[in-house]
C-alpha cells in the first residue's frame, strides 16, 4: 500500500510538441462520438501528457465550447469517473478530495489517511490543508481530531499535520538503514508495538521520511502500521 513516496509522484514528463487548442478540439470530437475506440483514444491523449498540460487543455475547451472539460469527460466516461478525477484534478485537489472521502465517509478510511498524510512533503501538506479548508470551510486537523476515535492514531496524524508548518528541510538524505533500525527498536521480540515509541519517532522524522518508515514497519512487522495503532 505504501509502495511509493511523494518524490515519485507525477513522473509523466511533459510532451513536446504540445498544442492545448489542438488537444481540446480532438477531445471534443472524440467525446461527441461515444464509441469504445474513441474512449481508448481519449485516455491515450490524457496519459501521454503530464498534469500541468492537462490543466492547460481546460481553458481553450471552455472558451471554444463553453463547457467544463472534466464534467464532459465524466459524463462521457461514467464508468471511469475515479480515473478521470485522478488524471484531471491537480495533485493537491485530488489528494484533498480523497481525504474528504476518507474522513467524512460512513466508515473512516484510516489506511488512506495514513498513506496520504505520511507520504507528502511539507509544501504538499500545507497546500492540501489550505484546499481542504477552501472546500469544506473546516480545518483538516479539526476534522481529524473530531472524527478519529483511536487516540493513538489521532495523535500520530495530528503530529504529521503539525510538522507541515515547521521549517523542516525535505531535501535531507534519507537513511533507510537508520529508519529500519528505529522500527526494530519499536517492535520487541514478540512484535508488539510500543505506541509511545511510534509517536516519538514520527515526531522526530522529517515528513519526507515518514513513508519510508511505514514501508519498513510493514516489512519487518508483517502488517500495516494502522493495524497496530487503531
Structural element, H or E, at residue 40? helix 36-47
pLDDT at 196: 77
How many Cβ atoms are within 10 Å of 178's Cβ, its own excluded? 12
Task: Classify each residue of 180-213 as buried b or exposed e, where b means 16 or more C-beta atoms within 10 Å of its C-beta.
Answer: bebbeebbeeeeebebeebeebbeebbbbbbbbb
Residue 52: pLDDT band (50, 70, 90) is very high
In contact, 57 and 73? CB cutoff 8 Å: no
Q: What is the arithmetic mean of pLDDT over 43-70?
A: 96
The residue among 6 and 112 whose pLDDT is bigger is 112
Percentage, residues of the chain above pLDDT 90? 48
pLDDT at 29: 95
DSSP-derived secondary structure letter, 204:
H
Q: How far apart are the first and last CA of the chain?
A: 17
Sketch the domain layout of the chain as residue ranges: 20-88, 91-162, 176-228
Q: What is the arithmetic mean of pLDDT over 192-201?
A: 74
pLDDT at 6: 45
DSSP-derived secondary structure letter, 78:
G
Residue 195: pLDDT band (50, 70, 90) is confident
The residue among 6 and 223 whose pLDDT is bigger is 223
Do 91-162 and 20-88 have the same topology in CATH? yes
Residue 230: pLDDT band (50, 70, 90) is low
The residue among 10 and 5 whose pLDDT is bigger is 10
pLDDT at 168: 46
The answer for 205, left when phi > 0, alpha when psi is -120 to 50, beta otherwise, is beta
List the single range of 43-52, 102-111, 144-153, 171-180 with lowest mean pLDDT: 171-180
pLDDT at 189: 54
Using the structure block, give the residue that is written with the C-alpha cell 533507510.
176
* Polymer length in residues for the chain: 230
Hey, which CATH number is domain 20-88, 1.10.3720.10, 1.20.140.10, 1.10.10.10, 1.10.220.10? 1.10.220.10
Of 150, 133, 55, 54, the C-alpha closest to 99 is 133
Structural element, H or E, at residue 154? helix 151-163
pLDDT at 5: 43
pLDDT, one tens digit per residue, over 106-135 is: 889 988 998 899 888 888 899 999 999 999
The residue among 162 and 166 whose pLDDT is bigger is 162
User: What's the CATH architecture for 91-162?
Assistant: Orthogonal Bundle (1.10)
Amino acid at each position: 500500500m505504501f509502495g511509493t513516496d511523494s518524490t515519485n509522484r507525477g513522473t509523466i514528463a511533459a510532451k513536446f510538441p504540445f498544442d492545448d487548442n489542438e488537444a481540446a478540439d480532438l477531445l471534443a470530437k472524440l467525446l461527441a462520438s461515444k464509441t469504445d475506440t474513441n474512449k481508448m483514444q481519449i485516455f491515450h491523449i490524457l496519459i501521454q501528457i503530464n498534469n500541468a498540460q492537462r490543466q492547460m487543455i481546460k481553458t481553450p475547451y471552455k472558451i471554444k465550447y463553453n463547457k467544463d472539460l472534466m464534467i464532459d469527460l465524466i459524463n462521457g466516461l461514467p464508468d471511469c469517473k475515479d480515473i478521470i478525477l485522478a488524471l484531471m484534478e491537480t495533485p493537491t485537489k485530488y489528494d484533498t478530495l480523497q481525504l474528504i472521502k476518507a474522513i467524512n465517509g460512513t466508515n473512516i478510511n484510516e489506511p488512506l489517511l495514513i498513506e496520504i498524510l505520511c507520504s507528502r512533503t511539507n509544501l504538499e501538506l500545507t497546500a492540501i490543508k489550505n484546499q481542504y479548508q477552501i472546500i469544506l470551510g473546516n480545518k483538516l486537523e479539526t476534522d481529524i481530531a473530531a472524527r478519529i476515535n483511536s487516540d493513538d492514531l489521532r495523535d500520530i496524524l495530528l503530529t504529521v499535520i503539525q510538522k507541515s508548518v515547521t521549517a523542516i528541510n525535505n531535501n535531507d538524505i534519507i537513511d533507510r538503514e537508520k529508519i529500519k533500525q528505529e522500527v526494530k527498536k519499536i517492535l520487541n521480540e514478540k512484535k508488539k508495538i510500543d505506541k509511545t515509541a511510534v509517536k516519538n519517532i514520527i515526531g522526530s522524522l522529517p515528513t519526507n521520511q515518514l513513508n519510508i518508515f511505514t514501508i519498513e514497519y510493514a516489512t519487518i512487522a508483517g502488517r500495516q502500521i494502522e493495524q497496530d495503532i487503531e
